[in-house]
Amino acid sequence: MFDLLEKKPVILLLLAAVVIMIGTTVTMIAPFKWINDPSQKIVGVKPYTPLQLEGRDLYIREGCNNCHTQTIRPLVADVARYAPGSTDGYSKVGEFVYDQPHLWGSRRTGPDLARIGGKYPDAWHYKHMEDPRSMVPKSNMPGYGFMKQPLDISLTERKMKALGFPYTPEELDAVRGKTEMDAMVAYLQKLGNDIPWRKAAADAPLVGNLTNPFAENVAAAAETGKVLFQQNCVQCHGVDLKGGIGPDLKTSALSEGDLFSKIFQGKGGMPAFGDTLGKEKVWKLVSYISSRKGLK
């Protein structure tokens, strides 16, 4: 039979096409029946607003997906790092139903961004986008200062219509006078911010003993705490703890237990450090902050 094929190019061509279509049908065409099924819908996930959509298009234009992924895998390390404070914060099908195209990416030169929304205050993003190394000294992310230019809104409405996303005149108006940076930050702040479990995770109070295990030996703990602070916190609270994007910590009224909870769980623009640093290091930070309180 093969000998015959080698003399009949048309049959060879057709047969090759058929052979190619078998795997294609099973693994590419058939899954359309299951993927994005209405039963996988997540209630909180809404289509993009005009401003967020423009931001997403800028993300595509700049090729941020060449360095950043947007899918968190159900692996311990992935969840702890990119969906801190949860155990099931990995990505689900329902999160992506409005993503045309998907932006999952294939390479994590930088961190995953699927849950970046709400992790930092807007002010952090503006500074970081303009000059990443001012916030994270060893970063190799390009600076995007030029994105302070006005946003091109000539296609906004056409884009919303093309994707069939609902919008109000007010929302459409809201893109007027915005910069590209505004749109980009609006998009970043949306990412992962509409998934219900996340809010639950952040609001649950910490259980367990909230007393400083280093109370006996604060000075030594504060020494390590200082190093940790310089690595993780100065970009927002300043070298002198006097604040910047985050508040002045020298005047903080929080108790040690509350300081611990705040750092461990984060909240309102303060990132959660519990999963990335662990209890011990967080207590060392608390020791450091306590030791600086009231000092000039």
Partner 1 sequence: MSLKTGYSDDVTRGFLTWSIIWGLVAVLVGVFISFQLVFPQLNFPPYLTYGRLRPIHTNAAIFGWGIGSFMAMFYYITQRLTKVPIWSPGLARFQLWLFNLVIILAAVSLAMGYTQSKEYAELEWPIDILVVILWVIFAVNIFMTIMKRKEEQMYVSLWYIIATLVGVAVLYLVNNASIPVSLFKSYSAYAGANDANVQWWYGHNAVAMVLTTPPLAIFYYFLPKITGVPIYSHRMGIIAFWSLIFMYLWTGAHHLLWTPVPDWVQTLAMGFSIILIAPSWASVFNGYFSMNGQWHQMRDNYLVKFLIFGITFYGLQTIQGPSQAIRTFSAFIHYTDWVPGHVHMGALGWVSLVLFAGIYYLIPRLYNTELHSVKLANAHFWMATVGQLIYSISMWVAGVQQATMLHATNADGSLHYTFMETLAEMYPYWHMRAGGGVIYLVSLLIFIYNIIKTIRSGSAVGETLRATGAA
Residues between 109 and 168 that touch ligand HEM (CB under 6 A): 109
Asked if residues 181 and 131 have their Cβ atoms less than 8 Å apart, the reply is no
Q: Considering only residues 67-106, where is the footprint of ligand HEM by CB under 6 A?
A: 106
Residue closer to partner 1 by CB (options 65, 290) is 65
From the CA atom positions of the chain, what is the Rg in Å? Answer: 24
Q: Which stretch binds ligand HEC (CB under 6 A): 10-18, 114-122, 197-205, 214-222?
A: 114-122
Q: Who contacts 238 (Cβ-Cβ below 8 Å, separation ≥6)?
A: 244
Residue closer to partner 1 by CB (options 67, 123) is 67
Q: Who contacts 188 (Cβ-Cβ below 8 Å, separation ≥6)?
A: 55, 113, 116, 117, 125
The structure tokens 């400083």 sit at: 212
Peptide linkage before 132 cis (omega within 30 of 0): no
Q: Which stretch binds ligand HEC (CB under 6 A): 4-12, 13-21, 66-74, 172-180?
A: 66-74
CA distance 132 to 145: 10
- Given ligand HEM, partner 1, ligand HEC, none, residue 252, with its beta carbon under 5 to 8 Å by kind, binds ligand HEC
Q: H or E element: which one contains 237?
A: helix 234-237
Q: Considering only residues 255-294, where is the footprint of ligand HEM by CB under 6 A?
A: none
- Given partner 1, ligand HEM, ligand HEC, none, residue 221, with its beta carbon under 5 to 8 Å by kind, binds none
Residue closer to partner 1 by CB (options 25, 217) is 25
Q: Does 210 bind ligand HEC (CB under 6 A)?
A: no
Q: H or E element: which one contains 222?
A: helix 218-232
For 57-68, the DSSP string reads HHHHHTTGGGT-
Helices 50-61 and 156-163 pack at an angle, to 10 degrees, of 90
Using CB atoms, what's the residue nearest to ligand HEC? 110
Q: Which stretch binds ligand HEC (CB under 6 A): 41-49, 149-157, 211-219, 239-247?
A: 239-247
Residue closer to ligand HEC by CB (options 50, 271) is 271
Q: Does 276 bind ligand HEC (CB under 6 A)?
A: no
Which of 215, 165, 167, 208 has the alpha carbon at shortest distance from 47?
165
Which of 232, 257, 258, 260 has the alpha carbon at shortest distance from 246?
232
Name the minimum Å distance from CB 66 to ligand HEM: 6
Residue closer to ligand HEM by CB (options 39, 106) is 106
Name the minimum Å distance from CB 207 to ligand HEC: 19
Residue 29 DSSP code? I
CA distance 147 to 84: 30
Q: Which stretch binds ligand HEC (CB under 6 A): 2-10, 157-165, 209-217, 252-260?
A: 252-260
> Binding ligand HEC by CB under 6 A: which of 79, 188, 201, 222?
188
Asked if residues 202 and 275 have their Cβ atoms less than 8 Å apart, the reply is no
Q: What residue ranges bind ligand HEC (CB under 6 A)? A: 59, 62, 64, 66-68, 109-111, 113, 116, 119-121, 124, 132, 136, 139-142, 144, 184, 188, 229, 232-233, 235-237, 245-247, 249, 252, 254, 259, 262-263, 267-271, 273, 285, 289
Q: What residue ranges bind ligand HEM (CB under 6 A)? A: 106-107, 109
